[in-house]
Every structure is written in structure tokens, then in C-alpha cells.
Amino acid sequence: MAPQTPQDPRLVIAAAALCVYAIFKRYEPSKPLPALLLLVGVPSALTKMLRSHFASALGAAGATFAMYWALLVVFVLAYRVSPVHPLARYPGPLACKLSKLWLMYLTGSSGKTYVYIDRLHQVYGDVVRIGPNELSIRHKDACSAVLGSKGLPRGPYYDPREHDAGVSLDGIRDLALHAVRRRPWTRSMNSASMKYYEDLIRNTVADLVSGLKERADRPLDLTEWMGYYGLDFMGRMAFTYDYNMLKEGRDTQGLHEMIEKSVLDLRWISHIPWSIPYLKLLPGASKNWDDMKASGTKVAHHRASMASSRPDLFHHLMDEEGREPVKPQLEVVAVDGALAIIAGADTVATTLTHFWAFMLRHPECFARLRKEVDAVCAQGGDIDFFAQAGMPYLNACLNETLRLLPPVLAGLQRRVERGTGGKMVGPYFVPEETQVSLVAYAVQRDPAAFSPLPRTFWPDRWLAQEHYTLPSGDIVSADEVHTRREAFMAFSQGQMVCAGRNVALAEMRAAVCALVLQFDVEVAEEGVLRSWEDEVQECFVSKLGRLPVKLALRA
């Protein structure tokens, strides 16, 4: 006896779509094979079963697939905006509640997602729903709760950092595994290595000053030269490899362009990490990132062939002292080293470029800084890293630069894992399986954490004083100035705080002091300063515009 088919095939299709939606919601299959079975295999089977209800096979397939996929989309979107969704109580734009594709579009088209989220906080308050399962929080207690010692593991935003040999340090989401992989990074910052890095900073600063002296009295792009400085130092620090950009006055290997292309891909993929397995199936889809990995592998093999005992980063990552139970793979070290070059060089270069843009905008701050530098740093003398670390106004200017324009503009995403029961972030309850993003650009401009003038470059807020003089000339007491250092997250915080923070600060202080001592700096195009922040884009790190200046040797 032939099997009976239902009178209304729409009921069968709707029931199947509802079951598949439940599977996706519960298990979130992201690998291509199971996803294709659910998205294509199921409607194909339904087409065959319901063939008798349609005039032709093509009509059966078209109607079945269209209804099945449409219902899946309706079920997904209806749940995301429904009052039963765990994040229904939190406000946010409808487009963000429906899909992360909206933020992906904004990031890929303009690179201004950080500005968009900051504006959302100004409209909705301290917590905003920026994705179907994601919140952005800027509350004054959020940093300690999310990033602190008892904070949350990283979210899926970091999944694109995976590679064939494993996962780079920046992409490890498990806190215990991250602690193990971080050990060699921590050892790389010991006193012996720091002494070695200081010598490298001295040499790189000397190359920077020499290159700029050769080009004094004619326009040059300070954005480019800060990039050369960052990359030259990180090449030497990570792999004892010299890119020779400062000596040549150009990027001889096209490294900056390579880095920019690779991170431009990351900036939108990170919003939809489920797409990664599918992109890997497309020929050439990962070319830019593969080129970057190949560059890291090249310098790693170069360093490995040296058999050097120098305490550079490679020395510790490869465990040349034999402290780890398992010998690291060269391929993993190559990717981690490439990450160090991107993250270390680009963040330093970005901060220094922003710093000079602020100094040119605020000549009164530059004059005050020069007075301090002249008093502490002897003209033509050796770099005194200890003395520079204790220069109040220099460090205040660097902190204020990092506060207003942090080099990493994307949100530091964390996740409340399944089975934890949820997490309190300040006064807000965050349910399980929810991503939490702290966007430094928004957090560090929050009036509750930094006031007065939370959006103004005012380095004095970082100084301990009884009374403060505002840029307007008004005098306020210390009680009226709020600088919550626990909300300062330019280097992240907690277990995943930037391992190279102290090196980066020493590198930046040394470069600033050298240029302040040696040169008078004048902007070559006034319009650049007015539109400076408009040119900044988020792309995992930051993409900057030109900063044309003229340098003149000081008398």
C-alpha cells in the first residue's frame, strides 16, 4: 500500500522548518556539512515527498525551498524581536536586534562602527543591544566585571584568528589555555629581556631621528614615519629582523600594505565568524591573511636559522631555554610573532600619530610638554627610561591620547558561556550565551568615568592636583574632576591585558622625547587637523589618514 501524503504540504514544510530552526537555535551548527544537510538536504527530501502535490518537479522544488527558507528566516527574526528573547529588555536599533549583518555592513563600508555604538550609548544609555545576542556596555563598573581577574572569556569575534597550526594567542577563548600559552610572553618581559629591548629602542629612535633630520625643512607624512618606527622596532624585538624602513625612508617590503589588507578582511569577518568555514572553500578568499602569515613564517625561519641566544620574543616563544614540557611548533610561533608585529607595531604607530595630531591641535600642551622634556632629558644624552616613566605631563598626554583615540577601536568582546547561570555586569544581568562588548571609544568618553570635558583633549585630568584649570580658564576643585582609571582599557585589563604594555609605553615615551628635543613640528596642511578623526577607521586595529608636517631642527 502506497504511503499517504498530507493534504496540505505547507503544514509539512512548516513543521520541518520549525524543527530545523530549533536545531540551529540549540546547537548552532556552523560546519558546512551539517549546515548544508539542514538547509539543503531537508528541503530536497521534502520536495521528493511532496512531488505529487505540484504540477512539475521544478515547481515542487521552487515552492518547497522558497517556503522552507522563508519560514526559517521568519522564525529567526520573530524570536529575536519577541518579548521572550533573553535580551528583550535591553534597548537598541531594530537592525541590530535582527542581525549582526548590520554592524558588519557598517564596519566594512565606513569603518565607523565605534562612532555608531558611541552614539547609541548617548541615545539609549549605558547598555545597548548591538546584536541578536550581544550587548555593548559602558557602565563605570563594566571593565572590572568583564575584563578583570574574574571576568569573562573571549567571544566569537576572535574566531578569525584561527589558523592551520592552531590558534594565535589573540584568538584563544579558553582562559585556562590562554594562561598556559601566555607564559612565554610573560617571560619575554623579564628584566633581562627588558634591558635588551631598551637597547633596541635606543637604536630605533636613533634611526628615526637620523631619517627625519635628512628630511628636515620639507613636508613628510608623520603617519608613515611613525609606522616605520613601529615596524622596525617590532621586527627587531620579535625576530631580530631588520625591515630597514627608517634607514631607507620607505616600506621596502610592502609590509604595511600587506598588514592593512589582511586586517581589512578581519574587520568585517569578525562580526560573522560563522562564515569562516565557507570562506575557506572559496579559492583566494584568504589570500591577504595567507600573505601575512607567509611573511611571519619567513622572518621566523630567518630567526630560527640564526641559532641566537638573544632574548628577543622568538627566544621565549620557541622556548629556547627548555622551560615548557612540550616544544612549541615553529608554525605557531610564526603566527604569534606576526601577531606581535601587527598588534605591537600598529598600536604604537597609531598612538604616536594621534599624539602628534593632538599636539599640533593644542600648541599650549606642546609648549608645556617641551618644558618638561627639556628639564628632564639632556640634549644629546642617553635615553633614561626610568626618568621618562616618571614624567607626569608626558604620561598624562599619552594617557589622554589613548583615552580619546585608543588604537583598538573595536569592542573587546567577551561571552557569558552556557551553564554559568549568567553574569552581573554592574547593575545589569547578562544571560547565558550572550556576548558582551566594551567599546573603548565609548567607555573612555563616558561622563560618569571621565569628567569634566569627557570628549576634550585635556591631559591635566591625569595629574594629581588640588585645583585644575580648564581649557576655558575656569578653575575647579579636585572633587569636581573624575578620572576613573579602572575604566581605562587602552591595553585591556585582567588576564588578557596586553603583555607588551611596558615595552610599548617605553617605546612611545622615547620617541616623543627625542622628537620634542630635536625638532620644531609644524603642520603642513591645516585642513588635515580639522578632519583628523573623520579619517580614522576601525579595521581590527586602526587605519589613519595622512599627517603632513614640516620638521625644523631646533636651534
The CATH number given to whatever domain includes residue 299 is 1.10.630.10
> Has residue 1 been placed in a domain?
no
- Count of CB atoms within 10 A of residue 185's CB? 17
Query: What pLDDT sits at residue 1?
Result: 42
Last residue of a domain, one of 80, 105, 125: 80
Name the DSSP letter for residue 112.
Answer: -
Is 136 within the bounds of a domain? Answer: no
Average pLDDT over residues 246-261: 86
Residue-number span of the structural domain to which 398 is assigned? 174-408+495-520
**pLDDT of 397 over the 90 cut:** yes
What is the reported pLDDT for 308? 66
Whole-number average pLDDT of the chain: 88
Tell me: do 192 and 337 sit in the same domain.
Answer: yes
Would you say the C-alpha torsion 163, 165, 170, 175 has a positive or negative sign?
A: positive
Which of 500, 495, 490 has its CA nearest to residue 440? 490
Is 365 marked within a binding site? no
pLDDT of residue 348: 93
Number of domains making up the chain: 2
Q: Which of 80, 105, 120 is the last residue of a domain?
A: 80
What is the predicted pLDDT for the residue at 351? 96
The answer as to whether 139 is a domain residue is no
Asked whether residue 148 is domain-assigned, the answer is no
* Predicted confidence band of residue 2 (pLDDT cuts 50, 70, 90): very low
199 and 71 belong to one structural domain: no
> Lowest mean pLDDT: which of 30-39, 104-113, 325-334?
325-334
Residues 54 and 178 both lie in one domain? no
Q: Report yes or no on 118 lying in a domain.
A: no
Question: What are the residues facing 424 on neighbouring strands?
Answer: 429
Q: Are residues 48 and 184 in the same domain?
A: no
Last residue of a domain, one of 46, 62, 80: 80
Judge whether residue 353 has pLDDT over 90.
yes
Residues 45 and 178 in one domain: no
Residue 355: pLDDT band (50, 70, 90) is: very high
Q: Is residue 550 part of a domain?
A: no
Assess if residue 525 is contained within a domain.
Answer: no
Q: Is residue 117 part of a domain?
A: no
Q: Do both 244 and 377 map to the same domain?
A: yes
C-alpha cell at 328: 612549541
Check whether residue 203 and residue 337 sit in a common domain.
Answer: yes
Among 454-463, 490-499, 532-541, the minimum mean pLDDT is found in 490-499
Instruction: Phi first, then psi: give them for residue 6, nearest 5 degrees.
Output: -65, 155
Distance CA 241, CA 303 (A): 7
